[in-house]
Chain A
Amino acid sequence: MSKTILEIDNVSRVFPGVRGGAPVQALEPTNLQVAENDFITILGPSGCGKSTLLRIVAGLDRPSGGRVMLNGREIKGPGADRGMVFQSYTLFPWLTIAENIAYGLREKGIPQAQRDEIVASYTDKVGLRGFENHYPKQLSGGMQQRTAIARALANDPAILLLDEPFGALDNQTRGLMQELLLGIWERERKTVLFVTHDIEEAIFLASRVVVMSARPGRIKADISVDLPHPRHYTMKTTPEFSSLKAQLTEEIRHEALQADAAH
């Protein structure tokens, strides 16, 4: 087991009640250790607090209790050491694709020549060569999310956080994006925390699937995925994959039913 890079320590989140209502416990005290170079997917039905947990790790939300440690230092706010890809398209519309990827590098004060080199290498990795001077609006949703991944990776963060990044894409594009992301991970072994509600996606990408339950959100199961790398999309039809999928479907279905009954 390699060293723990991220430690989520008793993190909870309570949202204050809206218009005099009772406060909502979005996240029960939660513990999770993330080892370096691991690819962890957090799987759960909507409203299970998985996005809240990720936003707390990103520093975009504050925990009501507990703390998150990255490389032994407590997270107090957002920073360049945690790259984030959002579900919504968050490329800066006034910047070209290349300028978007270079955004964090400029923030760090990296000289132009070196910046161009890094941008070129990541444009290649996500297959966007030839689109450097396009504006985000001119690109499809899948291409925009590829740019967003490149933009986050170019910054060389200690950990990459993805919040249902392919949730708005059509099925075919989503499959291709999964392969692209997994391919990058297989080469670079960047530590990844990936939030999704798609069971197949969770298994295909992960070395570990963390299943969360809803209302209040908490971790329900932690299942390691020992499928060999490199993974090919045909793996999704193997018996091993199917049995994992069946197991997780049961876990999630139970949760979804409970969440539904609570409404």
Chain B
Amino acid sequence: MPRPLDPVSQGTRVVLGISFFVIFFAAWAVATLGGFVSRTFLADPITMLQEGWLLLTRFGFLNDIGVTIWRVVGGFILAALIAVPLGILMGAYKSCEAFLEPFVSFARYLPASAFVPLLILWAGIGEMQKLLVIFIGSVFQIILMVAVAVGNTRRDLVEAAYTLGSSDRSVVRRVLIPANAPDIAEILRLVLGWAWTYVIVAELIGSSSGIGHMIIDSQALLATGQMIFGILIIGIIGLISDFLFKALNRSLFPWRLA
């Protein structure tokens, strides 16, 4: 029996991680191919892969994937560009925090998906509307989390900087920002994951392209294989982007691991 908090070797970790995927797909295959679940409601894995292949080769699904990635990344970058500086400002200056924190905390609970109908009225059904859904979904979360991280900077580091001759501005620039850069990168990685949820919601309504649009189209055709394929693609892209983000963080902040 493993003991609590006992570390596990890298090899075992990989094997265990992969084996759950295997079990998951095996259970799915047994349920569908074994006839336990109606084909109308759930396609089997093989049909799913065949339909997915058709989507990619015949129906230009790659284009949809590209459009969706563009929307997520676009809306997310827009949100990060505004939220990160604001969060740093709020974390560093308590008056800023007192001014903005109550509103941001409130706005954070406004569901981005509920804005979709309103945003269609405001921005039409073009790209701007999709970007705005992701923007609204991400921006307040990033602001708050960055503000908390910066606000929790070790006081003794700030004091040390002052005794070394730092001005207020240079404490922000040379202590608060570099001290929290890894945490901010980690926050962005987390929120990027959430942004993927918002983009699909945005694409389910009033859209003519994207993974979400494909899923809605497939529903009309009862093509559960295609729908599942679309969902899986999102998962895979998420996994890849997460991996890239982690690798980037590791190379940007070697001192964290040193």
Contact = CB atoms under 8 A, between A and B. Distances in A.
Contacts of B258: 134-135, 137-138
B96 to A, nearest CB: 21
Interface string A120-156: 0000000000000011011000000000100110010
Nearest to A108: B165
Contact of B156 (A80, A86, A103): A86
A135 B179 CA distance: 14
A192 B164 CA distance: 16
A117 interface: no
A78 B163 contact: yes
User: Chain B contact residues: over half helix, strand or loop, or mixed?
Assistant: helix
Nearest to A58: B163
Interface stretch (A87-95, A195-203, A219-227, A240-248): A87-95
B156 A155 contact: no
B236 interface: no
B157 interface: yes
Interface in B118-145: none
A86 B159 contact: yes
B169 to A, nearest CB: 11
B34 to A, nearest CB: 54
- Looking at B164, B166, B253, which has the most chain A CB atoms within 10 Å of its CB? B164
Nearest to B258: A135
A92 B179 contact: yes
Interface string A68-90: 00000000011110111010101
- Looking at A83, A90, A134, A161, which has the most chain B CB atoms within 10 Å of its CB? A90
B162 A107 contact: no
Interface size class of B (residues with CB under 8 A): 20 to 34
B159 A103 contact: no
Contact of A107 (B156, B157, B165, B253): B165
A82 to B, nearest CB: 6
Contacts of A104: 164-165
Contacts of A235: none
A160 to B, nearest CB: 10
Contacts of B164: 80, 83, 103-104, 107, 151-152, 155
A86 B163 CA distance: 11
Contacts of A86: 156, 159-160
B170 interface: yes
A155 B165 contact: yes
A25 B45 CA distance: 74
- Looking at A84, A92, A107, A151, which has the most chain B CB atoms within 10 Å of its CB? A92
Contacts of B42: none
A176 interface: no
A60 interface: yes
Interface residues of A, number: 30
Contacts of A59: 162-163
B178 interface: yes
Given A94-B253, A94-B255, A135-B255, A79 B165 contact: yes
Given A88-B156, A90-B157, A135-B258, A107 B166 contact: yes
Interface string B231-258: 0000000000000000000000111101
Contacts of B170: 107
A123 B50 CA distance: 66
A82 B163 CA distance: 6
A128 to B, nearest CB: 16
Nearest to A103: B164
Nearest to B160: A90
A83 B255 CA distance: 25
Given A94-B179, A135-B255, A60 B159 contact: yes
Given A78-B163, A83-B163, 13 more contacts: A58-B159, A79-B165, A92-B157, A92-B175, A92-B178, A93-B255, A94-B179, A94-B181, A103-B161, A103-B174, A104-B165, A108-B165, A138-B258
18 contacts: A58-B163, A59-B163, A79-B162, A79-B163, A82-B163, A84-B160, A84-B163, A92-B175, A92-B178, A93-B179, A95-B178, A108-B165, A135-B254, A148-B160, A151-B164, A152-B164, A155-B164, A155-B165
Interface of B: 154, 156-157, 159-167, 170, 174-175, 178-179, 181, 253-256, 258
Interface of A: 58-60, 77-80, 82-84, 86, 88, 90, 92-95, 103-104, 107-108, 134-135, 137-138, 148, 151-152, 155, 161
